[in-house]
């Protein structure tokens, strides 16, 4: 019975050195090995040309790079591209590439499905299939054919519900032996699992985005059930007390739904809640995920919200709707893939 080979994607420098040491290979090759995995995206050790072949033959007997290509993709008329990946355990997960002038963002998944059950999220409606490994998270950045400037963990799944692998992925993405992405270019988006946010503050230097969607706890609970266990107020207090000397960016994501959270009352409470915190607000259009009759606030309402926030000293931006023609909301392509698999 042959044993399963170790996967290098997802390994850090210390683990790579330990593996080479066990195999009798000079540990000094570890940085070059990880360079070929993380920067060059190799699928085979045969592609490496600056490590002795005798070492690579030994390594090939016990390990694989562990990277994989997308299994499907859809291209939007606005240039956005959605990719479908399948983990070695058969779990479908999505990645979205979002080009916008000089900014080229990749939105990656951290789970297949999600357990948070947020009302407006297609992923939550499809159930939860499992956590992705750090290697599978990083693979989404490496294995799409685009030059990337920014990375957001804002795809399928809740980062706070898979925090060990998310923190490991953040380290790989930002470390000089990894992808060497600037820490200001990596953002983790969460509903605010308070203990996990604490770990992100203590163990990474990545930006953090918190899903809010209503400044009133009872209304937020209607769309984000996690409010019951991890109230936004508690997470906000933690951010207020944080010594942000590294100048990481904190942002609140606010999906605007007509007649639900776009009134003057909501605006005034949002201003009161965030005044003096330095936390920015990202206003997003609502995308229907089924036949619900709710719809997005109009652009004029969103721009007025932005204006009122900015004049109050709160940084704010309005995100453009992207990928509507390919159902770019997280979870939709994976859901179709699962339905297709069941029919076969």
Active-site residue set:
94, 330
Phi then psi for residue 317, to 5 deg, are: -145, 155
Q: At what angle do helices 299-311 and 264-274 cross, to 10 degrees?
A: 30
- Residues whose CB falls within 8 Å of the CB of residue 117, separated by 6 or more in sequence, listed in order: 124, 225
Q: CA dihedral in degrees (41, 46, 52, 55; nearest 10)?
A: 90
Give the rounded distance of the alpha carbon of 168 from its chain centre: 13
8 Å CB contact between 119 and 103: no
Tokens at 101, concatenated: 């002038």
Q: Which helix (H) or strand (E) holds 113?
A: strand 111-113
- What is the length of the chain? 344
- Residues whose CB falls within 8 Å of the CB of residue 129, separated by 6 or more in sequence, listed in order: 91, 92, 111, 112, 113
């Amino acid at each position: 019975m042959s044993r399963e080979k170790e996967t290098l994607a997802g390994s850090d420098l210390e683990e790579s050195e330990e593996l080479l040491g066990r195999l009798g290979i000079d540990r000094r090759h570890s940085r070059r090995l990880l360079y070929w995995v993380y920067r060059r995206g190799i699928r085979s050790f045969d592609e490496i040309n600056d490590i002795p072949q005798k070492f690579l033959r030994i390594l090939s007997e016990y390990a694989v790079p562990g990277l994989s290509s997308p299994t499907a993709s859809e291209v939007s008329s606005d240039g956005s591209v959605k990719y479908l990946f399948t983990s070695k355990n058969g779990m479908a997960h999505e990645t979205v590439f979002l080009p916008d002038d000089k900014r080229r963002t990749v939105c990656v998944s951290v789970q297949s499905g999600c357990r948070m059950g947020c009302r407006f999220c297609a992923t939550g409606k499809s159930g939860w299939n499992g956590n992705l490994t750090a290697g599978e998270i990083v693979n989404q950045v490496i294995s799409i054919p685009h030059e990337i400037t920014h990375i957001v963990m804002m795809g399928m799944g809740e980062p706070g519900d898979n925090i060990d692998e998310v923190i490991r992925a953040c380290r790989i993405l930002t470390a000089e032996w990894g992808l060497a992405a600037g820490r200001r270019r990596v953002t983790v988006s969460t509903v605010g699992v308070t203990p996990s946010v604490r770990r992100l503050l203590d163990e990474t230097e990545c930006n953090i985005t918190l899903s809010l969607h209503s400044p009133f706890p009872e209304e937020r609970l209607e769309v984000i059930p996690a409010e019951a266990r991890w109230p936004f107020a508690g997470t906000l207090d933690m951010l207020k007390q944080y010594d942000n000397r590294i100048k990481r960016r904190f942002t609140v994501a606010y999906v605007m739904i007509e007649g639900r959270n776009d009134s003057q009352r909501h605006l005034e409470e949002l201003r009161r809640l965030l005044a003096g915190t330095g936390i920015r607000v990202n206003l997003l259009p609502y995308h229907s995920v089924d036949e619900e009759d709710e719809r997005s606030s109009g652009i004029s309402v969103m721009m007025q919200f932005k204006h009122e926030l900015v004049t109050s000293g709160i940084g704010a931006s309005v995100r453009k709707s992207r990928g509507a023609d390919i159902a770019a909301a997280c979870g939709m392509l994976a859901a179709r893939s699962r339905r297709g698999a069941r029919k076969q």
